[in-house]
Structure 1
Amino acid sequence: MARISRLWMAMLLCLAGLPAAAQTWTADNGDGTFTNPLFYDEFSDPDMIRVGDDYYLTGTTMHTMPGLPILHSRDLVNWELLGYAFDRMDLGPDMRLEGGKEMYGQGIWAPSFRYHDGTFYIFSNVNGHTTQVFRATNPAGPWTRTPMKRSLHDLGVLFDDDGKVYVVWGYREVRMAQLNQALDDLVPGSERVIIRADQGMGEGAHLYKIDGRYFITSAWYSGRMRMPMARADKPYGPYEVNHAVSLDEGWGSEVGYRHRGAAKPPFDIAPPTTTPGRNVLHQGGFVQTAQGAYWGFSMTDFNSLGRLIGLSPVTWQDGWPYFGLPGNLGRTPRTWLKPATGVVQKPFAPYVRDDAFSGPALGRVWQWNHVPDDARWSLKERRGFLRLHTLPAVDFMAARNSLTQRAIGPRSVPTAVLETGGLRDGDVAGLALLGLPYRTLGVKRDGGGLAIEFHDQLGDKSVRVPFTGRRIWLRADADYLTEQARFAYSLDGRKFTPIGEPFAMAFQLKTFQGIRYALFAFNAAGRAGGYADFDSFEVAEPNPKGLMHPIPLGRTVTLTLLGTKLGLAEYETSILAQEGGEPARFRIVDRGAGRVALALGGGHLSINATGDAWVKPGEAGVGETFQWMETIYGEPMLMSLATNRYLTVDPASGQVSATSPGARSDRADHARFVVAEAP
């Protein structure tokens, strides 16, 4: 029912119209805590470095241009997009969508970000070409690019203390070599296999030297996705492998719709499942603050939205750096205290998504789908508009000059305003959800007349409505928790009419990216046509903060286990859950930093060192304090500061404890609560 109710809410919003929303997802909660993900949009294959008191981040951008974003932070939570390592990279017709060729899912990926002796470096592979090396003395640019003489899969680079530069790469079998002084090839004779394929490492290598020892992180799926790590006293080993420094943490995310099979109709879309161990943190690395603390970063698959990046406190144990907190290693809390970097910043987002197209340049958030034809688009031909001149294309995926930006979760509503006076016969222009299958909503001129056209690549279906105007508002309502979306249009910007049926968005490997919002214009009649003028683009976000529901501070509530009748009920001086029993009425006491105590009578719910729950008389202390957070779906969970595990109710015995390691995709964690205000 939750999925249906959210979808109906989306439909109502489409019908009623939405105000423009300037707020976008911000991980910083403003109370000294942050909530994962750092960005609620795709950020694949992240790599992060610290230079002095500054932190820098980049990640995969595949076929989009510009590529390799450079983000800067002072506190590891609030990030600013400085720019990109390259504006255009044209290595052939596949990068330009010419001659029937394309490079979807094949472009720049899995970068290794490093800083050495005054220079920033990014090493990144390009499928079908070689590894590329980017250099800059200022991370905001300019950057130079040098191709290496070979391709190194998912490489990680280390500038060692003795002046040698090591590189590791590979898929399951991990190889190591030295790079030459020019950093464009391997030192002859230096290449060796350092970890065998049967040792359980995987791919996505990051190479570090910590306190004289060498560490390699990777990602590997073996029954469950995991983040294994290897360590050695010497660069070439021998290496010891730890099979899980991060495991099972997806903040409750279930596996959504998944595309499988051919990249053209008819599509084979697998339905959602609750398979555990799939949508979890699995590829990333570590960064050390100037104060000496380590923090982990990694990505998790989040269905059709793409891959999200998480930030994790790190706990060292037996010489291994684990994601997570003492007593709950391998599990990253969704909400936790911000890193102590010595810098206090107010919350801000990395970029502005809305664009009135009134500036001299496009907003930094925009990326072109493949290399654009710069002679066929303009912000100057008509002031305050993005003009896209149409070029011939067989369909939307083959259309040049589609302007895109990453979709934003957990739900977002992009709206584009299009003027159609420049369209010529065969032209179609509008708003698209770029994925596989793709969906478009636009205006098409055919036979001298105009029509509003919704096209669903799944089944190659179209819905057309006659159109006689010149200006139209195009909207998509996308819910990435249910993976349901629907298009709507308006003739006045206030009343929106749905068109076509709701549809499911799917995870797919053709573009190797999540859904992207796209403005497009092309000619389906096989010739250059006219042009489309886009007046504005706006993205409304109903849930731009870390909690979908406010903490009921100061209120008296009942806590009932989600999906059951089990509640927290008072029984003498202990807390038990009893089916059909009266739940206890707790007063939610504010403990600061998003933390609460559960007051009951003259005491508080307390957790001892083994996780047992009881009512302790008197004031609240650490044992009586819980970090309030939510699953990715907005379901409340309470993590005890005594155990760093979550309050749970055993469905069989009704026993209450704080022993759950965290949310599971199959919902077998028994740690999600329905919070209701008590009468």
Structure 2
Amino acid sequence: MSGSSFSPSRVSKGSSLLTGSDFPDPDVIRVDDTYYLVSTTMHFSPGCAILKSYDLIHWEWCGHLYDTLDETDARALKNGRNCYGKGMWAPSLRWHDGTFYVCFAVVDKGVTHVYRTSDIENGPWTLSVLPGLYHDPSLFFDDDGKAYIIYGNSTIRITELNESLTGPQPGGLNRVLVKTGETKQLGYEGSHFYKINGTYCLFTIHSLPDRWRRVESCFASDSLTGEFTGGIVFNDDQGYHGQGVAQGGVVDTPDGRWYAVFFQDRGAVGRTPVLIPLAWENGLPVIGNDGKAPLEAVNLTARPGYAYAPLAESDAFDAPVLKAMWEWNHVPDDTLWHVGGGFLSLTAGRADRDLTQARNTLTVRCTYPVTEATVRLDGSKLALGGRAGLCALQYQWSAAALRRTEAGFMLSLLKKPANDQPGEIIAAEVPASETVTLKAVFDFADMKDTVSFFYMENGEWRPLGALQKVSFDLRHFAGVRAGLFHYNVEAAGGEALFSGFEYRITAP
């Protein structure tokens, strides 16, 4: 970088692994000097994460687009149902004529939601429902103001929408843009559509045909009715276990440079955004440095010296509202929790067989390479059959749990049974007092993907059971999270009080 516009005070550097945590399917835009990013949240509430940045490298929370989707038995973990891996997928973010738009598929309902607001940071958002499931949609506004949605899996289509964005425009454009053809691997999906320098550009991801590896393709045309031609434009894994970097948005800087924000599968920690420089040649993108995603990201910042709030941090639970980093596992029951005065209170509202069916588990994303989560738990008000503590939430879950039994309090390592059975097994346990301090250490470095649980005894950390494996299982379709939970396997009742939550990101 050279010239007066690239003065040292304006240069921002950092890891190209932007968040180090699970913010999949990113879409990104710039409005003036501010970048905004939206990401999939699946079954978690509140949903559709919104981040902002002034340099594309460092990000902080704006918040979420919605508190909850409409409550159903599956979304609220009622009557034995759940919504794991469903909910909202792959949001598209656009800014057009002073209005922000977000569009995404609601997988469990088979519909597509379109939201709009004039203020992305504060809302309010207005919802319209587009009947039908438009898979991995990209919302596009052409120069003449007409709106289109580009979507699909293997076969990618474009459909013109009516002015209210509530359905197809009668007699409007509706055609296939590209087809994958025969393949045993993942076909085209994850569409992102733009008009750049007069050329229409369709970005999609897919797998290499001979093996699983995520790659990015781009197809271009000089008109919406013309032939879209192109192919693979990026195929790199940053030297990380063959995990390809692809799927996401592209964005320009105020001084006319371009970047891609794609994501990479990083094992159990989830799908993490990566920043890659981009240039244009003959209407097609040239991504990376000699086709590689650099490990260091460099850009200009619009706000030199700006202090970004962390995406995940410690929490004393002093405020009467939760920090933006927290998301509930499914739709919570708001009558059974409260926060403030130094405590998070969770009450068991019914009997539940195991952690994954328990309501009101409060989660936070883990961060690469190593995350340590610590919390103090007062279980004096637990009822018989109650268990509360600190968990690693994914399909193959595990947890450090304080249990109240007829014989007194026990501190147990709970985990999901083998053979996909519901319920829980006790892998280890020790006698305990009614108040305990717990720690979970998540190690994702070099795909280790483990969690170790500890408890404090006489000022020293003691291991609780053996090292546990964690994984990214498509049945949950989310990175493993640290979670605070309370449920009862016998009956409703009891209260767990959490305090002094500490969150640290460390080296392996």
- TM-score exceeds 0.5: yes
Which SS does the other structure have where 2:300 is aligned? Answer: coil
Which SS does the other structure have where 2:368 is aligned? Answer: coil
Q: 1:280 to 1:78 in 2, by over 3 A?
A: same
Which SS does the other structure have where 2:74 is aligned? Answer: helix
Give 1:62 deviation, angstroms.
0.3
1:286 is the counterpart of 2:269: no
Answer yes or no: is the 8 Å Cα contact 1:463–1:499 preserved in 2.
no
Alignment of 1:119-138 (within 5 A): 119-129=99-109, 130-138=111-119
The structure 2 residue matched to 1:453, chosen from 412, 435, 441, is 412
State the one-letter code of the partner of 2:168: L
The structure 2 residue matched to 1:195, chosen from 178, 186, 199, is 178
In structure 1, C-alpha distance between the alignment counterparts of 2:166 and 2:244, rounded to whole Å: 35
Counterpart residue number, 1:218? 204
The structure 2 residue matched to 1:74, chosen from 38, 47, 54, is 54
Counterpart residue number, 2:454? 488
Counterpart residue number, 1:251? 238
Counterpart residue number, 1:160? 142
In structure 2, C-alpha distance between the alignment counterparts of 1:440 and 1:342, rounded to whole Å: 43
In structure 2, C-alpha distance between the alignment counterparts of 1:51 and 1:346, rounded to whole Å: 18
Instruction: Render the CA deviation track for 1:465-498: whole Å, top value 9, x for unaligned.
Output: 3435221111111110121221111145x31110
Answer yes or no: is the 8 Å Cα contact 1:425–1:448 preserved in 2.
no
Which SS does the other structure have where 1:227 is aligned? Answer: strand
Which SS does the other structure have where 1:148 is aligned? Answer: strand
In structure 1, C-alpha distance between the alignment counterparts of 2:390 and 2:93, rounded to whole Å: 34
State the one-letter code of the partner of 1:117: D
Answer yes or no: is the 8 Å Cα contact 1:387–1:534 preserved in 2.
yes
The structure 1 residue matched to 2:165, chosen from 183, 189, 198, is 183
Alignment of 1:651-662 (within 5 A): none
Counterpart residue number, 2:384? 425
Answer yes or no: is the 8 Å Cα contact 2:29–2:93 preserved in 1.
yes
In structure 2, C-alpha distance between the alignment counterparts of 1:292 and 1:475, rounded to whole Å: 47
Which SS does the other structure have where 1:96 is aligned? Answer: coil
Structure with the greater alpha carbon radius of gyration: 1
The structure 1 residue matched to 2:304, chosen from 327, 344, 347, is 344
In structure 1, C-alpha distance between the alignment counterparts of 2:432 and 2:303, rounded to whole Å: 56
State the one-letter code of the partner of 1:332: A
Give 1:105 deviation, angstroms.
0.4
Instruction: Render the CA deviation track for 1:433-492: whole Å, top value 9, x for unaligned.
Output: 001210011111122521101012253541443435221111111110121221111145
CA RMSD of aligned residues (A): 1.9
| TM-score, normalising length: structure 1 | 0.69
| TM-score, normalising length: structure 2 | 0.91
Which SS does the other structure have where 1:234 is aligned? Answer: coil
Give 1:30 deviation, angstroms.
11
In structure 1, C-alpha distance between the alignment counterparts of 2:397 and 2:11, rounded to whole Å: 40
In structure 1, C-alpha distance between the alignment counterparts of 2:263 and 2:436, rounded to whole Å: 38
Which SS does the other structure have where 1:496 is aligned? Answer: strand
**Structure 2 residues not aligned, in runs of 5+:** 1-8, 419-423
The structure 2 residue matched to 1:171, chosen from 153, 156, 159, is 153
In structure 1, C-alpha distance between the alignment counterparts of 2:339 and 2:471, rounded to whole Å: 33
State the one-letter code of the partner of 2:226: G
Counterpart residue number, 1:505? 470
Q: 1:217 to 1:388 in 2, by over 3 A?
A: same
147-156 or 137-146: bigger deviation = 137-146
Answer yes or no: is the 8 Å Cα contact 2:317–2:343 preserved in 1.
yes
1:46 is the counterpart of 2:26: yes
Q: 1:32 to 1:83 in 2, by over 3 A?
A: closer
Counterpart residue number, 1:144? 126
The structure 2 residue matched to 1:474, chosen from 404, 419, 438, is 438
Answer yes or no: is the 8 Å Cα contact 2:153–2:188 preserved in 1.
yes
1:364 is the counterpart of 2:347: no
Q: 1:138 to 1:192 in 2, by over 3 A?
A: same
Which SS does the other structure have where 1:71 is aligned? Answer: strand
In structure 2, C-alpha distance between the alignment counterparts of 1:352 and 1:407, rounded to whole Å: 8
The structure 2 residue matched to 1:93, chosen from 63, 73, 78, is 73
State the one-letter code of the partner of 1:231: A
1:398 is the counterpart of 2:381: no
Give 1:385 deviation, angstroms.
0.7
Alignment of 1:247-326 (within 5 A): 247-248=235-236, 250-254=237-241, 276=242, 279-325=243-289
Counterpart residue number, 1:386? 344
Instruction: Render the CA deviation track for 1:190-229: whole Å, top value 9, x for unaligned.
Output: 3211212329960000000001110010110123321011
Which SS does the other structure have where 2:503 is aligned? Answer: strand
Which SS does the other structure have where 2:293 is aligned? Answer: coil
Instruction: Render the CA deviation track for 1:125-151: whole Å, top value 9, x for unaligned.
Output: 111321111111111122222221221
State the one-letter code of the partner of 2:361: S
Give the count of matched residue pairs.
483
